[in-house]
A and B are shown apart, each in its own frame.
Chain A
């Protein structure tokens, strides 16, 4: 079955660029999206269709997807960006989430 793999944790200093990867077989041939989830809150879509930002999502969030890896990039990371991030794609109508990455801003 199709699986998505993310690193459990990523750390970044404020103002620097954070990159979170998501790996899956031929993921670049599918659409990937990313969700941000802060403690006690529901997930929020931050990137869809590999690199599109929903209305209201800051420009510092961007995405790419090629080969077997999708990447969420946060430029000029702020303390408010500290959260869990989940990648997601679908395969044969089945929706698959990655295991999540905890982004720490320190």
Chain B
């Protein structure tokens, strides 16, 4: 049974880069033609898809964040990562990693990232 776990700093200063890693266990990140996604949820709000990556490195990002987002994959570590540059308070959210391209199952437990000086 595949499980995902997010990790990374819980506090990031404005204008800096948010960096998170998702570790996949119970299965290979490069098997079964799965894509891997990042999704965020602002406090008390709904879900916002950020983008996805294939194990080959192919990516697709939501247009509203495309200029600031990079998703990468490290198949040797069974991990994929999110970088979001030039963060502001509006990027404060719970960040989830999930398996999937157009539907998501399963999800990681999520990690709260607060942008504050």
Measured CB to CB, the residues of A under 8 A from B are 31, 33, 35, 42-45, 48-49, 54, 86, 88, 90, 93-100
How many residues of B are counted as interface, with CB atoms below 8 angstroms from the partner's CB atoms?
Answer: 18
**Chain B at the A interface: SS class:** loop
Q: Are B47 and A43 in contact (CB under 8 A)?
A: yes
Q: Are A96 and B49 in contact (CB under 8 A)?
A: yes
CA distance in complex: A97, B96 (Å): 14
Within 8 A of A (CB), among B101-115: 102-110
Q: Are B48 and A97 in contact (CB under 8 A)?
A: yes
In the complex, chain A residues whose CB is within 8 Å of the CB of B75: none
In the complex, chain B residues whose CB is within 8 Å of the CB of A86: 46-47
**Chain A at the B interface: SS class:** strand
Could you pull out 27 A-B pairs where Cβ atoms are within 8 angstroms? A31-B103, A35-B104, A42-B106, A42-B107, A42-B109, A42-B110, A43-B47, A43-B104, A43-B107, A44-B107, A45-B103, A45-B105, A48-B103, A88-B103, A90-B102, A93-B60, A94-B49, A94-B63, A95-B62, A95-B102, A96-B49, A97-B46, A97-B47, A97-B48, A97-B49, A99-B46, A100-B47
In the complex, chain A residues whose CB is within 8 Å of the CB of B48: 97
CB-based nearest B residue for A93: B60
In the complex, chain B residues whose CB is within 8 Å of the CB of A90: 102
B7: shortest Cβ distance to chain A, in Å?
15
In the complex, chain A residues whose CB is within 8 Å of the CB of B108: 42
Q: Are B102 and A31 in contact (CB under 8 A)?
A: yes
Within 8 A of A (CB), among B45-81: 46-49, 60, 62-63
CB-based nearest B residue for A1: B63
Taking A42-B107, A97-B48 as known contacts, 7 extra A-B pairs with beta carbons closer than 8 A to each other, sorted by chain A number, are A35-B47, A43-B47, A48-B103, A88-B103, A95-B37, A95-B62, A96-B49
| 8 closest residue pairs by CB, A with B | A95-B49, A45-B105, A42-B107, A97-B47, A90-B102, A100-B46, A33-B103, A99-B46
